[in-house]
Amino acid sequence: MPGKQLSRREEEQLMKEAGRLPPGQSLTQKFPVLHYGPVPEIDITTWRLSVFGEVENETSWTWDAFRHIPTVTLTTDIHCVTRWSMFDTTWEGPRFRDFVDLFGVKPGAKFVIAHAPHGFTANLPLDVMLEDDVLLAWKYNGDLLDPAHGFPVRTLVPQRYFWKSVKWLTRLEFSSDDQPGFWEQAGYHNEGKPWEEQRTQRS
């Protein structure tokens, strides 16, 4: 007989006991849709992902070219600042640290600012983006990203609250200076570490 399906509370308790649920978080068994503004209408025939700033070669990729970049598959937990957590989510895309080898980063680059439609940005130190579990994800659970979750490409930065994983990615800016993003300018914490509950600037 198949095993009994755990309730949300039962699964949450298991995650707590395993030390996988950050403080102040609750487990969700669904994938909530949260973002600022409407879901943008992406024309995949004209979409480009561009890199600029403190890079050796400013470059852009069409959707077809981007999908030919070698990928990895990663299973990881994700945590939203709105207090939900999901466990064992599976993503696929180029590893960010490998992606930067395609164009080269200048020594002066210290921060990465991810850009998306509606003027949305999010900032992180370059050394955070170069961690092993950071992807430019274009698949979730084996399928292309749903439009509400960032199709065609989003950053995936599991060690930060999920607003730092930018949906509908269009540009990556490499900068010598930190540039607080949309939510950071609105009072969210600049680092956003779930295990330290860095939710707001007062955290």
Tokens 């981007």 locate to 66
Q: Are 153 and 136 in contact (CB under 8 A)?
A: yes
Q: Is 42-196 CATH 3.90.420.10?
A: yes
pLDDT value at residue 23:
97
**pTM of the shown model:** 0.94
Counting beta carbons within 10 angstroms of the beta carbon of residue 202, is it exposed (0 to 12), middle (13 to 18) or buried (19 or more)?
A: exposed
pLDDT tens for each residue of the chain, 203 residues long: 455 688 999 999 999 999 999 999 999 988 888 777 789 999 999 999 999 999 999 999 999 999 999 999 999 999 999 999 999 999 999 999 999 999 999 999 999 999 999 999 999 999 999 999 999 999 999 999 999 999 999 999 999 999 999 999 999 999 999 999 999 999 999 999 999 999 998 76
The domain locations on the chain are 42-196
In whole angstroms, give the CA distance from residue 45 to residue 105: 28
In whole angstroms, give the CA distance from residue 102 to residue 26: 39
